[in-house]
């Protein structure tokens, strides 16, 4: 369990750095409610609010990720998971000012007419010490 959590945390940190490099502003991490969790909450360069699911897998060699039977991180996201992210996002939107208060005081709910759910998929290749990252916008 601990190993899985550590790997998940590394994946989320990698995704955060990737999104920051693309000009996103991170305003929340690991937002949890009774319905689910959102890994990252960000504002993109268009000022849209983005709820980000991060999925990562670790392989020793790149060829492992190229096999026909390899299940990619993006393939591991189920419809029920997306639905839980949507419900968690709705909870965040309803409670944004109360929860985040001063941290996003200049970015009130009305400043986010559009929001979406994105997916950042990461395959860590140990032998190459590389992360293969894909960013999917508007998965819901």
- What confidence tens digit (pLDDT) does each residue in 1-52 have? 458 777 888 999 999 999 999 999 999 999 999 999 999 999 999 888 999 9
H/E element, 44 = none
CATH code, domain with 129: 3.40.1350.10
Q: Domain containing 78: what range?
A: 2-136
CA separation for the pair 16, 63 (Å, rounded) = 26
Query: What is the chain's mean pLDDT, rounded?
Result: 86
Q: Dig out the tokens for 118 from the structure.
A: 């994105």
pLDDT of residue 38: 96
| Contact yes or no for 72/123 (Cβ under 8 A) | yes
Number of domains, the chain: 1
DSSP designation for 71: -
Sign of CA dihedral 31, 33, 38, 41: negative
């Amino acid at each position: 369990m601990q190993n899985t959590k550590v790997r998940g945390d590394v994946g989320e940190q990698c995704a955060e750095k990737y999104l920051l490099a693309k000009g996103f502003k991170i305003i929340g991490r690991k937002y949890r409610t009774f319905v689910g969790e959102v890994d990252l909450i960000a504002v993109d360069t268009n000022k849209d609010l983005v709820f980000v699911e991060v999925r990562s897998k670790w392989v020793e060699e790149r060829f492992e990720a190229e096999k026909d039977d390899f299940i990619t991180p993006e393939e591991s996201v189920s419809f029920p998971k997306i639905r839980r992210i949507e419900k968690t996002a709705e909870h965040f939107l309803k409670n944004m000012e109360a929860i985040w208060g001063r941290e996003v005081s200049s970015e009130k709910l009305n400043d986010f007419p559009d929001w979406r759910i994105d997916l950042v998929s990461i395959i860590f290749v140990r032998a190459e010490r590389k992360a293969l990252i894909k960013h999917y916008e508007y998965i819901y």
